Amino acid sequence: MSEPRAVIVTGASRGIGLAIAQALVDRGVRVAITGRNEAPLAEAVATLGGPEHAVAVAGKAHDPEHQAQVIETVMRDYGRIDYLVNNVGTNPVFATALDTSTDAVRKVFDINVVSALEWTRGVHRAWMGQHGGAIVNVTSVAGLKPAPGIGMYGMTKAALKYLTELLAVELAPTVRVNAVAPAVVKTAFARALYEANEEQVAANYPAKRLGVPADVAGAVAYLLSDDASWVTGQTIVLDGGMTLTGGLI
């Protein structure tokens, strides 16, 4: 019997990241999750079934020392890193492009784009470069066309989509790289976009509902699986049909 595969999921103490981790645990994958704070991560590990199924390492996703610690932990505990999910993201401002400070722009790019590249470099050096693997980046429909108010966030997600395509070419054929681009998903991260008027927001979606974390998790699990072995460089839009009607949220 072959050894279980292993994955790193960044930003996975709650929401979409935790749902992705759960979907992979359900498929027999051993999971390493990251997040900023130890207490929520400990709760997440318990939710995932305990240390037999998951390990957690707290830290900032864009911190190189944290990245190295996570990769070292996974290689020590699991002996392999078959999958990577770059899920962590930030959107600290709601403003026009000209009204967003340069420091804020740099922070969003560092966390949403640069860290995804650095995590990919790390797992490629540690395992995937020799053994192969699959990577999924979590982008957003906000990166598909201008999104006033969250434009800097959308700009980083557009860059992440491009990075996905670039890495798919550069790392082929041993490593597949894909992305998912959700619309509004009911998480704490997106609460400001729907909490005050969820029914009104959902009414604009052909599916007549907002997304839930499991909607994203299922797509990510597919893209990482052998069923998607001929899929690379793609961004799957998960939006309940919203972009078909010209909207983003």
For residue 13, is it within any domain? Answer: yes
Choose the weakest-confidence range: 40-49, 81-90, 140-149, 191-200: 191-200
Band of residue 195 on the pLDDT scale cut at 50, 70, 90? low
For residue 180, is it within any domain? Answer: yes
User: Alpha helices, DSSP H only, in 78-181?
Assistant: 102-109, 115-123, 129-131, 151-170
For residue 182, is it within any domain? Answer: yes
Whole-number average pLDDT of the chain: 94
For residue 16, is it within any domain? Answer: yes
Closest of 46, 16, 45, 51 to residue 33, by C-alpha: 45
The pLDDT of residue 193: 66
Main-chain phi, psi angles of 162, to 5 degrees: -60, -45
DSSP state of 36: S
- For residue 107, what are the domain limits? 6-245
For residue 1, is it within any domain? Answer: no
For residue 87, is it within any domain? Answer: yes
For residue 48, is it within any domain? Answer: yes
The pLDDT of residue 1: 55
Q: How far apart are CA 143 and CA 243, in angstroms?
A: 12
Across the range 204-226, mean pLDDT stands at 95
Across the range 221-243, mean pLDDT stands at 97
Say how many domains are in the chain: 1
Rg (CA), the chain: 17
Q: Which of 78, 83, 153, 205 is catalytic?
A: 153
For residue 43, is it within any domain? Answer: yes
The pLDDT of residue 121: 98
Strand order in the sheet with 175-182: 54-58, 30-35, 6-9, 83-86, 133-138, 175-182, 235-238
Residue 80 has pLDDT above 60, yes or no: yes
Q: How far apart are CA 141 and CA 208, in angstroms?
A: 17
The pLDDT of residue 201: 83
Q: Give per-residue pLDDT as tens, 87-133.
A: 999 988 899 999 999 999 999 999 999 999 999 999 999 999 999 99
Give the position of tokens 């797509």: 219
The pLDDT of residue 92: 85
Band of residue 162 on the pLDDT scale cut at 50, 70, 90? very high
Mark whether 153 is an active-site residue: yes
Instruction: Give the tokens for residue 243.
Output: 């972009």
Band of residue 186 on the pLDDT scale cut at 50, 70, 90? confident
The answer to whether the beta carbons of residues 70 and 8 sit under 8 Å apart is yes
If residue 31 lies in a helix (H) or strand (E), which one and from where to where? strand 30-35
Closest of 48, 15, 12 to residue 30, by C-alpha: 48
Q: Give the CATH number of the domain where residue 184 resides.
A: 3.40.50.720
Q: How far apart are CA 229 and CA 174, in angstroms?
A: 10
